[in-house]
Every structure is written in C-alpha cells, then in structure tokens.
Structure 1
Amino acid sequence: MTRPLHLILFHGLGADGDDLAPISDLITERMALTDHHWAVHRPDAPVSPVSLNGGMPMPSWFDLIADNGSIDVDRDSLAGITADLQQEIADQVGDDPYILGGFSQGGVLAHRLMLSLPRPPLAAILLSTWLPAPEQIARPTDGRDPAVFIGHGEHDPLIPVRAAGMVNDFLKECGLNNITERHYPVEHGILPNELEDISTWLGETLARAGVA
C-alpha cells in the first residue's frame, strides 16, 4: 500500500473547510502520484467571538482586533491555535510527507506552521494572507527550504497586496529561497487562473521532490 501525501488546508474567517475544496479537488484530480496517495485535510476553525466584528461568534482561528483603522491580532489566541495545530499535524502526518496551505487567516497559520513544525512540509500555499506578530516566530535553524507559492489579489481591500511582499521578505529572512509570488486582478478571493498556476507550480514542485 502506498504512503499518504497529506494536503492540509486552512480556510479564512467566517468560512469552513469546504471553502477550499476547489483547491484540493483540482490538485488531487490533476496530480497523479506514484508511491503515494492523497490524504486531504480541510479542518474547520472553532466558532468564537471576533472583536473586529463586534464580538459576533463565527468560525475564526484567532481573534482580530481593530487598531487605529488597521487590523491587529490577539497574540495569545494566535499563539495558542498555532501550538494546538502543531501537535495535531504532528499526530496526523507522522513521518509522511505533507503540504500546507491557507487563505487569509488560514494562510497566517500555514506560514507559521511551515516555519515552526519540527519536520517541514514539502511545500506551502499562502493565499491572500499577511504577517501578524512576527516577533512570535522563531527563525528556523535547520536549513529548511520548502517551496512556497504566494498568491494575492491586486485589488484586495482587506489585506493590501503589499502584504504579499512582506510575507515573502520575512520568509527570505528565515532562510527560504524557493518562493514564487504572483498577483492577480481580484479583490479578496481566488481566480480560476490562480488555481491553474498553483496546480502547475505544485506539479513541478512534487516532481522535483520525486513524489509525482
């Protein structure tokens, strides 16, 4: 029996795991594996009050706070969910290869976990996301360099496109060099041609890793 290749995707604020089904479906349908089979995980965030939205409960990985016209995060809730997911993912994947991905809030988790899990992923897909609380993130010292795809909408009113470059710069400071950053004519969302680009990029990445 072949070993699993885990694809773990984290959704954005107010959504659920099914929101990212178009990504996982495209990847698993397009990408045949030789010595592995796909194991897809699209977990749902807990429902909790979100300060930015007047305390309204909704699916949210961590709390968001309005701060002088900008959006900040509750650092305790962000650190807490990151620690919880580190253990959950370690238990899920064991020694198997895995890929992380996320949209918006979920992208925050994906890049934090990529840098902090004891065993790095093969790749990470970071979509329409940003870099909150970088002081919490310890720079890895093990030479890890997973492939990273950063996609962002040029007209995003919630997370300006410059956030993509800030994530890219931070990852380079952490020693990562295999980074692809692309911008798309969309607001806070994902276009079909972005999905196509992700599929092509990931296929090339897995071929280099010898798993596709």
Structure 2
Amino acid sequence: MAMEALHLVKQTGKACTGSVIFLHGSGDTGQGFLNWVKFLMGSDFGLPHINFYFPTAPLRPYTPLGGSTSNVWFDRYNITPDVPEHIQTLESIGQEMKGLIGKVADSGVPLNRIVIGGFSMGGALALHTAYRFSPGLAGAFALSSFLNNNSVLYSNVKTRDTPLYMCHGDRDTLVPISWGQNTFQDLTKLGIKGEFTPIKNTLHEIKQKEIEDLFRWIEKVLPPVENK
C-alpha cells in the first residue's frame, strides 16, 4: 500500500542542505503531526537550511483495532513487544520509505544529510529505516517508541554509524518507558551510539521542551554547510 499525502515545510534560507522526515504515530496523518509540531514550536517553525517532510501512512487494516482501517505504517499483532513483528507490512512500508528517501536524495540532499524520526509507531519505522532499509543517514530519532523483543532489525543491522536520539515519557501507560529503554539498550549493545532521555511527568505525548531539545539535536547532526 502506498503512502498518502506528503506535506513539506521548506527551508527559510536561500538553499536546502539538509532534510528531516517526520513520521507520525498510528491513526494520525502527516498534516496532523505537522500541526502538533507547529503548536509546540510556534506556527512559523523551521530552520534556514533544512526541509521538513511529513508523510502520511497508508490506510490499512489494523489488528489492534479489530481489523478496522487506520493510517498506520505497518500492522501489529498486538501493542506489546512480546509478539512477533508483522513482517509483510513492515517490509512493504520499508520499500516505500526507501523510495521517499530516494526522492529526497534526488532533490540534491545526500543520504548523510537526511535525518529520519517519528513518534510512537513512526519512531519504530524510523529505526528500521535508518539501520536496515536505508543505511547511511545522518541520524535517527524515536519519540515514545519501541521495537518488538525479537525484532528483525536486531539481526539485520546494516550500519552502526548513524547517531540515535530517543526520549520517552516517564508516565506513558500506552507504551511504557521500559519498552523504550529496552529497545535503546538492545541497539547500543549492537554498537549503535546515541542518547536516551526520560521526559518527566509525560504520558504518550510530546511536550514543548522535548521537541525543542530534539530540534537542537537535529541542528547538531545537520549543521549548516556552505552552499557550493
């Protein structure tokens, strides 16, 4: 199934030398996630040298909703790390992500100047994309996300050089912080370097300081470069 609408927030300067792909959580849309980030950062958010992409997941049957359709990146057998991954839909969306990243690269931004990340399910897909589907990216981030205990990613890591940024609400009841911590620990055991930050008094949501800290991290891994 192909992705739906793609929203773009263009750089505010003269040239684009970096790109960030934001992936929304289950049941959301690219526009909805963009509106959320704008609310937290201010309606005129942006960086002079970076394009921000907000794609929308395909509308597909989602098992945790009893098979009802929803905008989800891939299917899950259940919302828990204790079950197998739904490999068919995960592999399918992985090819879609490779295509999107290819289009961004074709626009003139090389792989090592592209960051991918997301919230909840979007963060999980970002991890698969950065470390398995499209190695060579500048960075990956996952907000309130987790991987299944026996994720196919753990045995198929294609790169360990992409820096990782993870954060998680310490009061999250939908995706407990321990799931995110375990994912981060499993990835670091494989040689992936990064940071994990608990967000105090936070449920399954994004807070203003959290997104502000994320943007500072993005600026660190995608600093301005002289346009040649």
Note the aligned Cα RMSD (angstroms): 2.8
State the match for 2:151 in structure 1: 134
Q: CA 1:45 to 1:186, structure 2 compared with 1: closer, same or farther past 3 Å?
A: same
Query: Are residues 1:48 and 2:68 paired?
Result: no
Task: Give the secondary-structure state (helix, strand or coil) at the position aligned to 1:29.
Answer: coil
Q: Which residue of 1 aligns with 2:197?
A: 182
Residue matched to 1:169: 185
Question: Which residue pairs with 1:82 in the alignment?
Answer: 94
Query: Residue in 1 aligned with 2:211?
Result: 195
Report Cα offsets for 1:88-147 as digits up to 9, x if no partner: 312332452211011111111101111124442212221011012523551225xx4222
Select which of 51, 65, 68 maps to 1:39.
Answer: 51
2:221 maps to 205
Question: Matched residue pairs, number?
Answer: 203
Q: Compute the TM-score of the two structures, normalised by the length of structure 2.
A: 0.77
Contact 1:62 1:81 in 2 (8 A): yes
Q: What is the CA-CA distance between 1:8 and the residue it aligns to?
A: 0.5
Q: Which residue of 2 aligns with 1:9?
A: 22
CA distance in 1, matches of 2:77, 2:19: 33
CA distance in 1, matches of 2:30, 2:164: 21
Give 5+ residue unaligned stretches, structure 1.
Answer: none
- For structure 2, the residue ranges without an aligned partner over 5 or more in a row are 1-13
Conserved 8 A contact 2:142-2:165: yes
Moved more, 75-84 or 23-32: 23-32
User: d(CA) in 1 for partners of 2:127 and 2:81?
Assistant: 25
- Compute the displacement of 1:73 (Å): 3.8
2:3 matched to which residue of 1?
none
Secondary structure of 1:182's counterpart equals: strand
Q: CA deviation at 1:30?
A: 5.7
**Counterpart contact for 2:131–2:157, Cα < 8 Å:** yes
Alignment of 1:83-102 (within 5 A): 83-94=95-106, 96=110, 97-102=113-118
TM-score, L = length of structure 1: 0.82
